[in-house]
Amino acid sequence: MTQTNPGPGGSPNAASIVSEALNNISSLIRNELALARAEIGENMNRAAVALGLIVGGVVVALTALNVLAAALSAGLTEAGMDPGWAALLVGVAFAAIAFGMIAKGTSDLKLSSLAPTRTAENVKRDAQSIKETYNDK
């Protein structure tokens, strides 16, 4: 905090108190904006990783479906299963795996996980401190 200039009688005058308050609030706002930018940047990095998981899951699912589906279907047919049922069983298994990967990626991309929650908490705490400080004077 900066020192206020005492007015007549040794107490700070209203202009210096207002000036100090505005300087403190301005500094606080700048700091909170910097924190919000940093937090949003971190959250965007997490979102990029989540998006990579989704894309990777889709690529793996497609590749697996193309290569392993034929092999498994052929193996189940060799074991005595009807070819149509073998293909259906294999397709359902790979679809379940792909769904799990995509669900994980999309849950990591929810807007609530991207919001700057720490900054919001800091702003609330700072606002309460400002109220308490200036209500005491």
The pTM of the full predicted model, rounded to 2 decimals, is 0.40
- Positive or negative, the CA dihedral 111, 114, 117, 123 is negative
- Picking from 32, 29, 17, 25, the residue whose alpha carbon sits closest to that of residue 136 is 17
Report CA 126 to chain centroid distance, whole Å: 23
Could you give the 3-state DSSP secondary structure of residue 79?
A: coil
Res. 112: pLDDT tops 80: no
DSSP 8-state class, residue 137: -
Instruction: Give pLDDT, residue 10.
Output: 55
pLDDT single digits (tens) 6-52: 555 556 687 888 888 888 888 888 888 888 888 888 888 989 999 99
In whole angstroms, how far apart are CA 66 and each of 25, 58, 71, 87, 114? Answer: 61, 12, 9, 12, 35
Structure-derived torsion over alpha carbons of residues 86, 87, 92, 93, reported in degrees to the nearest 10: 70
Whole-number Å distance between alpha carbons of 48 and 54: 10
pLDDT single digits (tens) 44-99: 898 999 999 999 998 987 887 788 788 989 999 999 999 999 989 888 988 898 89
